[in-house]
Structure 1
Amino acid sequence: MAYPDPYPRPAPDPFIRRWLFITACIAALMLLWQFLPAIEAWFSPREAAERTVTARGDLAAEEKATIELFEESRASVVYITTAQLVRDVWTRNVFSMPRGTGSGFVWDDAGHVVTNFHVIQGASEATVKLADGRDYQAALVGTSPAHDIAVLKIGVGFKRPPAVPVGTSADLKVGQKVFAIGNPFGLDWTLTTGIVSALDRSLPGEAGGPAIDHLIQTDAAINPGNSGGPLLDSAGRLIGINTAIYSPSGASAGIGFAVPVDTVMRVVPQLIKTGKYIRPALGIEVDEQLNQRLLALTGSKGVFVLRVTPGSAAHKAGLAGVEVTPQGIVPGDRIIDVDGKATDDVAKLLARLDDRKVGDVVVLSVERAGKSREVRVELQPGN
């Protein structure tokens, strides 16, 4: 006679069975994953098939031209590092502190190097590195802050680097290709390409100084460190000095500016000869704020002459400034244009004069008391 089991085993829970099944599947998958490389190696061929190199063919003509331009121009571009001498207030020792980097280019066989004024501004010393790796301490020759141009000189005794070929900027056309070589972010001898995006742009000067006019706008990538480097045309000729960018982020946003080579050709020889740029002047005093007030009162355009320097070119030509009479202030001559080009404000007048040189004769269209006339003035050295 069979007796019932006093301790019967409970029936397996369906949930526990499912959990055990899932756990077993996971364990199996983990083992499979662990041994998968060995399984693949077992079934794969014992030797990997060798890859063959696909023939590229000839470079495109445009690529060849760009490569040739860079190889021929690279040696004319330099890398500039600046430092500032600092005196320790406790030890009184003087030491050199790195300040910044920039670019430049060889101007002539005498070792003159052209760069931006803001690259060396505030520096106590500058080192110029050539493309072949040689370093030279540079001497400052001259600066023109109004044009953001500076000239340095290095003593290259042998294996002189070639001077960059000089072109023209007056005949530039929007859309033509340009090439920029420089040292952006310290990445030396970098080439970027683009086109002329616009011409005759103006940027405000530093610390309220005169505006920099006639700038070339380009979409070639220009970043910090490119300043002072050359902007070249497709023939490898210098057409400008890369000087500024418009960028909310501080990096290239496709809007860069370059000082045109026609301005460089006018300024650099003076800096080499005298150490400073002497701007051509009329011998008059003008003021933009007062000029705007007078224009608003009279409802006219142009630049009012506030004062004429006695004995100046303007004085000899018969120009007259503002007069103070018992009846009130009488406006002086108002310059409407220079050589047929309008002068809507003081900045534009200075730009028109800066296109010429000392000794040139300009024709001014002036108006006073409703009467217009033309005046010929020989430009004199400015302050």
Structure 2
Amino acid sequence: MNSTPTQNKLLRTIRTLLFILIGFAVLLLLFPQFKAFWLPINTEPRAVTARGTLSDTERTNIEIFRQASPSVVYITTLTDTVNLWTRDITRIPRGTGSGFIWDRYGHIITNYHVLERASEIRIHLSDQRTFRAVLVGASPDHDIAVLRIPLVSNMPAPLPIGTSSDLQVGQMMYAIGNPFGLDQTLTTGVVSALNRSLYNDNGSKINGLIQTDAAINPGNSGGPLLDSAGRLVGINTAIYSPSGVYAGIGFAVPVDTVNRVVPKLIAKGHYKRPQLGILIDEELNKAITDKLGIKGVAIIDIKEGSPAQRAGLHSMKKLKNEGMDVGDIILSIDDQRVNNTRSLLDTLEKYYSGDHVKLTYLRDHEKRSITITLD
């Protein structure tokens, strides 16, 4: 039986539709995302995927910030300007910084450079309460200052004190502060190096600094550097950066220095470095000790009425034949080796004015010892 043209056309149509359906099925099978063009859009929130437990590092970070952040304060300073025509005094914002609660008596620690030349200092606690602070004392040579605010209820707890003497490169470090005015900011890193030195704006050198790669930016100055136990181990004080912002190298005053200087600032308003009363010179000392083949610190000169003079120590002096008498060379203090001028200053920093120390020195190739009272 012969098919009619109508039947042939119908068969062709059916075959075409069948091929289309098969092709569409293959597309859905091989390319599931193709379904999205045909399925209705889902406007409901997506189901949340369970994250599981936090890692040990995350839990440590969270706990350190939770415990320490209430003790970190935001510092703003203002300065007075005088209109030369009207003689009116206007108080304008000068800068911002960070600090932290030291004790239950309202004392707050920060960097001296945060407050320098400020007419008014305001402290903002983490709960948004604001107080006017007074300067109790400062040691510009250490870049440390102590402020005090009124005793108020619900004062945040002081930060627990750690030690910086046993820090090791690679230890985790946590910095909390107010970079660029962004209060209560936590950054993390490690101890990158120890015993770094930097010059202050006043020309003095701060020794024994902790170097860290925890992000420190303008506004972090004066804030705490913490270890993984949440203990204070330093005060964030400076950065090394060609651009003035974080470049991976920050510095902190070690807490052992802070814990020695701050009590004196609270008690007396100033800190006096313990002194022998001698003049030393780094370059001249190196030339002398290298020539003699020894390690120590040559006494270049002695101040009148100083502990060194009272103890009978000898300084360099010119001889009649145009030569030089080297004088005494300090070898150790309380059996702590003194190899150069820096180590002498670092060793003296561990003592207080009035302390008695045993000084071992070399005179005419003979080793001697004497007890001396630091000034």
Q: 1:47 to 1:253 in 2, by over 3 A?
A: closer
Q: CA RMSD in A?
A: 2.5
Which of 161, 171, 180 aligns to 1:166? It is 161
Alignment of 1:16-95 (within 5 A): 45=40, 48=43, 50-95=45-90
Inter-partner Cα distance in structure 1 for 2:277 and 2:285: 17
Structure 1 residue 354 displacement after superposition: 0.9
Q: 1:42 to 1:53 in 2, by over 3 A?
A: closer
Matched, 1:263 2:271: no
Matched, 1:228 2:200: no
Which of 293, 303, 316 aligns to 1:322? It is 316
Which of 312, 326, 340 aligns to 2:306? It is 312
Alignment of 1:144-293 (within 5 A): 144-209=139-204, 211-288=205-282, 291=285
Which of 97, 105, 108 aligns to 2:103? It is 108
Structure 2 counterpart of 1:352, which letter?
T
5+ long unaligned stretches in structure 2: 1-35
Inter-partner Cα distance in structure 2 for 1:109 and 1:215: 27
Structure 2 counterpart of 1:89, which letter?
L
Partner of 1:247, secondary structure, is: coil
Inter-partner Cα distance in structure 2 for 1:259 and 1:42: 62
Inter-partner Cα distance in structure 2 for 1:42 and 1:190: 45
Inter-partner Cα distance in structure 1 for 2:44 and 2:153: 54
Structure 1 residue 88 displacement after superposition: 1.3
Partner of 1:281, secondary structure, is: coil
Query: TM-score, normalized by length of structure 1?
Result: 0.81
Deviations 1:69-110 (A, max 9, x none): 111111100001111111111111111122111100000111
Structure 1 residue 44 displacement after superposition: 6.1
Deviations 1:317-345 (A, max 9, x none): 22112334433343322223334444444
Which of 349, 358, 368 aligns to 1:354? It is 349
Percent of aligned positions with the same letter in both sequences? 53
5+ long unaligned stretches in structure 1: 1-40
Match of 1:138 in 2: 133
Query: TM-score, normalized by length of structure 2?
Result: 0.83
Inter-partner Cα distance in structure 2 for 1:366 and 1:260: 29
Inter-partner Cα distance in structure 2 for 1:224 and 1:310: 44
Structure 2 counterpart of 1:371, which letter?
E
Partner of 2:150, secondary structure, is: coil
Aligned length: 340
Inter-partner Cα distance in structure 2 for 1:263 and 1:77: 19
Q: 1:52 to 1:279 in 2, by over 3 A?
A: same
Partner of 1:118, secondary structure, is: helix
Partner of 2:54, secondary structure, is: coil
Inter-partner Cα distance in structure 2 for 1:42 and 1:171: 64
Inter-partner Cα distance in structure 1 for 2:171 and 2:64: 15
Match of 1:5 in 2: none
Structure 1 residue 310 displacement after superposition: 4.3
Inter-partner Cα distance in structure 2 for 1:42 and 1:371: 96
Match of 2:365 in 1: 370
Inter-partner Cα distance in structure 2 for 1:300 and 1:204: 28
